[in-house]
Amino acid sequence: EELSVSSEHKFLGIILDSKLTFIPHLKYLKARCLKTMNLLKILSHTTWGSHRKCLLSLYNSLVRSRLDYGAIIYNSATPSALKILDPVHHLGIRLATGAFRTSPIQSLYVESNQWSLHLQRSYSSFTYFLKVQANIEHPSYSTINDVTAATLFHNRPAARKPFSLRVRNLIEEMGVPLLD
């Protein structure tokens, strides 16, 4: 019996494409979050809408949780592909806070006490790294501590680095003295 070859496969809610660009997953995630955002648009009406704190809680539970799910995995996508989700995040914050479309993004983050998606993904990666480092018997321990390909990726800066090297670069940038 012939098996069909598929260029995409959904596994645990994450769409994996043949080249692991994660663009199909990011587009699917954006469309799904924008559909949910319609609820926030209705509830954020200026005259009879919900309270700001309630809207932020709804945004965090309905949209932000979807954006955070699997972020450690799809964080290996290119930075330009990851920017697909930024307008969704900014729209959610604008709706929840009642800010204008012309409001600067940095002021939205401060006003809503939210992080950018880039910072949130970096934080999630860092905490996962610490969790794995704390347990030698963790199944991912040997993979995260594998830095044998560091020279290969150092010589090819355009290639996306594996999780272990990305997190180690993040640790060096932050100046955290965790590594030997």
Q: What is the pLDDT of residues 104-120, one digit of tens each?
A: 999 999 999 999 999 99
46 vs 119: CA distance, rounded Å: 31
Write down the pTM of the prediction: 0.85
Q: What is the pLDDT of residues 152-170, one digit of tens each?
A: 887 887 778 888 888 888 8
Three-state DSSP string of the chain = CCCCCCCEEEECCEEEECCCCCHHHHHHHHHHHHHHHHHHHHHCCCCCCCCHHHHHHHHHHHHHHHHHCCHHHHCCCCHHHHCCCHHHHHHHHHHHHCCCCCCCHHHHHHHHCCCCHHHHHHHHHHHHHHHHHCCCCCCCHHHHCCCCCHHHHHHCCCCCCCHHHHHHHHHHHHCCCCCC
52 vs 35: CA distance, rounded Å: 20
Please write the tens of the pLDDT for every residue from 41-92: 888 876 776 888 999 999 999 999 999 999 999 998 999 999 999 999 999 9
Burial of 153 (0-12, 13-18, 19+ CB in 10 A): middle
Instruction: Name the β-bridge partners of 15.
Output: 10
